[in-house]
Chain A
Amino acid sequence: MSTLKHKGKGPQAMTANELRSGLSVWMTKDFGWSRDYRDALLTEDEATIERMDEVARAAELVNDVVGAYFIDTVDGKPARYRERFRTHGPTYDTAELI
C-alpha cells in the first residue's frame, strides 16, 4: 500500500477514503479510522506498520474504506503538500457562502 511518491521514510500514517461518503480518513491509534488527521497514528515501529497494513487491507475487504495507502510524515504532518492539503479540506468551498 504505497504510492509512487511514498518514500517510506520517517513516521508513517495510513490514509484512505470512506467507501460510502468518499471523505478522507486516517487510521487511528486503536486501528480504527477518523476523519480528523489529528487522531492519526504516526509510527516508525515496523511491527505496528505491518499491523496497519493488515488492518487497512481488511478494512478495504469489508468495504469500510477504499484506496488505503501509507504516507510519510515530518514533524507530525504529512510530508507531501498534497497530503497536507487533504488533512484540512478545500481552502475555498462555495458551500460556506450559502
Chain B
Amino acid sequence: MYRYDEFDATFVESRVAQFRGQVERRLDGRLSEAEFRPLRLMNGLYLQLHAYMLRVAVPYGTLRSDQLRMLAHLADRYDKGYGHVTTRQNMQFNWPKLEDVPDMLSDLASVEMHAIQTSGNCIRNVTCDPYAGAAADEIEDPRPLAELLRQWSMLHPEFSFLPRKFKIAVTGAPTHDRAMVRAHDIGIEVVRGVEGEVGYHIIVGGGLGRTPVIGQTLRVFCPKDELLPYLEATMRVYNRFGRRDNKYKARIKILVRETGIEEFRFLVDEEFKALPASKIMVGQAERDRIAAYFAPPDYANDIKAFDLSAQPEAFRKWVDTNVVPHIQPGYAIVNISLKDPDRAPGDITADQMRAVADLADAHSIGEIRTTHQQNMVLAHVRQDELRAVWDGLVKADLEDANINLIGDIICCPGMDFCALATARSIPVSQAIAERFNDHARQQAIGEMQIKISGCINACGHHHVGHIGILGLEKAGVEFYQVTLGGDATQTAAIGDKMGAGFSQDELIDGIERIVDFYMGQRTEGERFLDTYRRLGTPAFKEALYADA
C-alpha cells in the first residue's frame, strides 16, 4: 500500500504542530470557540452530544497492521478502549479529551495517519471497494486511482471551502459495485472503452441525506490521463454554481438536479476545454509509480486443496458466509464481521484491533481493509490458512458468520452519540439482530441489507437498504419509518417509503412480518430485493402493517 513520501510526512507533522498550538490557544483563551471550531473540524474533531469525537481518516479503507495497532493504542490510551468503523470506512473515537487530541494526532502521524478532511466542506476521504486488488470481478485495482484522488484533493486550494462536503467513491468492479458509487457526489467506475482500453465512467450527483438521489452518468468513458482535469472542471462548476445560501440545497446533487444533467455536462465540458489540462494531467509514469505501491503480493503457487468436510460445522458456516473467492487460485478474501448482536455495529475493541492486526501479519500481508458496511476484510488469505484465521477470530470473539445476511446491519451512532440524531439507532439494530440471531434462519433468509439512520442525514444509508429504517422523534417519543427496496449496488435504487412509523417493538415485529412474507412468496433463487421488485410495494406494505 501507499507510503508517505517526504512531503506527506513533513506536511502531516507540521499540521499536528499547528493544531497543538491552536488547542493551546483555545485552552488559554486566545482563541474563542467561534474561532477554534473551524480549526478543530479541519482536523476531524467534533463536539458531539455527550463529548468530543475524533474521526480518523482511513484512506480508501486500507490500513497496515501497525496502523491498526496504533488505532488500538489511541482507543486504550485516550478513549474508552474501542473504536467505531464508520460507513465511510473511517474510524471514530467517541470520548477523547480536547487536550489529548494533539497527542493523538501526533501518534497517528507516526504511522502515516491523520484526521484531516474528515469534516468540513471539502473533498472527504475517498472510499473504495474493500475487495480492491483481490476481487475476481474487477477490471483493475482501483486503489491507485483512489490514492491519486487523495493526493489531488488533499488541501486542494480551490476546493477547501466548497458549498458543502464532497464525497467520492471508486470501484474497479462495475458489475459488482461494493463501494456504493451511485450514492456519492462523484462515483467512479473503472471500465473498458470500445478498444478494450481502461478508463473511467464518471457518475455525478448521487447522495443520500434529506434528499436522496441516485447519481447520473456525467461521462461514459474518461481516458485515464484526462481524469484529474475532468474532475477539476466538474468541481469548478460545482464550486461556482453550487448554492451557498442554503446548506440543505448546497450539495452537488441539488445543482445537477436543478441544472439538468445535460446542461451540467455542457458546463463541465466548457470548463474542461478552458482548463490548462496539461498542467493537471498525470502521466503514465506517475500513475505507474503510484500503482507500484499496490502491486499484487507474491502469491504462493503450492497451496494444496482445502478439505472443508473434515472441519467443524461452525467453521464451515463461517467460510460459507464470510469468505469469498479471490482472483488468485488458492487464496480467499476474508470478511471479519463487526456485527456482534450485543454490540453497536462497527464497534471494535482495542484488543480485537490488535488481534486482527496480528492475523493480518500472519496471514494477509499485514494489511486490513475497513468497509462501508462497517466490517473489516483480510484481502489475501491462503485457503489452507483459513482455519488458523478463524481460530484467531474465535479467540478474539470476532467469528460472527453473518456477512450480507440480516444480522449484518449498517447503523449510524444515532442519538446515543450523535448531536444531530433525532432517535436512537443502536438499540434498534441490536433488537433486530437478536430477533434473527439464529444462524440457520439468517442463512435461509439469504442476502439482506438492513440499514438504520438515526436522523434524516442518513449516515446509516437507510435509503439504499433493502430494508431501510429512519429514526425520528415526536413529542418525546422515538418512532421509526420504514423504506423497502433500496439498493446500494450497480442496480442502485432509493427505497420506497412505507406509511406511518412504528415504535421500536412494533418495528421489530413488522420487519419479521415482511421477512416471513418474503420467505413465503419467493421463488427459487430470489433474494429479498428480487421478490420485492417482482411483487411490488403494496404487497409488502400490507404485510408490514398486517397487525399494526
Contact = CB atoms under 8 A, between A and B. Distances in A.
* A and B associate: yes
B213 interface: no
A23 B51 CA distance: 5
A82 B416 CA distance: 10
Given A22-B51, A81-B473, A90 B33 contact: no
A85 B48 CA distance: 13
A92 B347 CA distance: 12
Contacts of B415: 82, 85
B439 interface: no
Interface stretch (B95-103, B158-166, B314-322, B460-468): B95-103
Interface in A68-98: 80-82, 84-86, 89-95, 97-98
B81 A95 contact: yes
Contacts, number: 84
B50 A92 contact: no
A20 B49 CA distance: 15
B29 interface: yes
Contact of A20 (B48, B94, B99): B99
Contacts of A60: 33
A24 interface: yes
A63 interface: yes
Interface string A25-68: 00000000000000000000000000000000000111100110
Contact of B82 (A67, A85, A95): A95
B208 to A, nearest CB: 22
B27 A20 contact: yes
Sorting the interface of chain A by its residue count into under 10, 10 to 19, 20 to 34 or 35 or more gives 20 to 34
A19 B98 contact: yes
B50 A86 contact: yes
Contacts of A90: 50, 416-417
Contacts of A80: 476
Contacts of A62: 29
Contacts of B342: 97
Nearest to B31: A63
A17 B97 CA distance: 12
A67 B50 contact: no
Nearest to A19: B98
Contacts of A95: 80-82, 95
Contacts of A91: 416, 424, 426-427
A97 B80 CA distance: 10
Given A66-B33, A98-B82, A17 B430 contact: no
A12 B476 CA distance: 18
Contacts of B258: none
Contacts of B48: 22
Contacts of B349: 94, 98
A81 B478 CA distance: 9
B436 interface: no
A94 B97 contact: no
**Listed residue (A60, A66, A86, A93) with the most chain B CB atoms within 10 angstroms of its CB:** A93
B344 interface: yes
B28 interface: yes
Nearest to A95: B80
A51 B444 CA distance: 64
Interface in B258-299: none
Contacts of A94: 80-82, 343-344, 347, 349
Given A81-B473, A92-B430, A95-B81, A24 B27 contact: no
Nearest to B413: A90
Given A22-B47, A85-B49, A63 B26 contact: yes
Given A94-B82, A95-B80, A61 B29 contact: yes
B80 A63 contact: no
Contacts of A17: 47, 51
A20 to B, nearest CB: 5
A70 B106 CA distance: 37
B80 A86 contact: no
A63 B51 contact: no
B545 interface: no
Given A22-B52, A23-B50, A63-B26, A92 B426 contact: yes
Contacts of B422: 82
A93 B27 contact: no
Interface of B: 26-29, 33, 47-52, 80-82, 94-99, 342-344, 347, 349, 415-417, 422, 424, 426-427, 430, 473, 476-478
14 contacts: A17-B51, A22-B98, A24-B49, A62-B29, A63-B26, A63-B29, A81-B473, A81-B478, A82-B473, A91-B416, A92-B430, A94-B343, A95-B80, A98-B349
A-B pairs with the 8 shortest C-beta distances? A95-B80, A22-B52, A90-B416, A22-B51, A94-B347, A98-B81, A94-B82, A81-B476
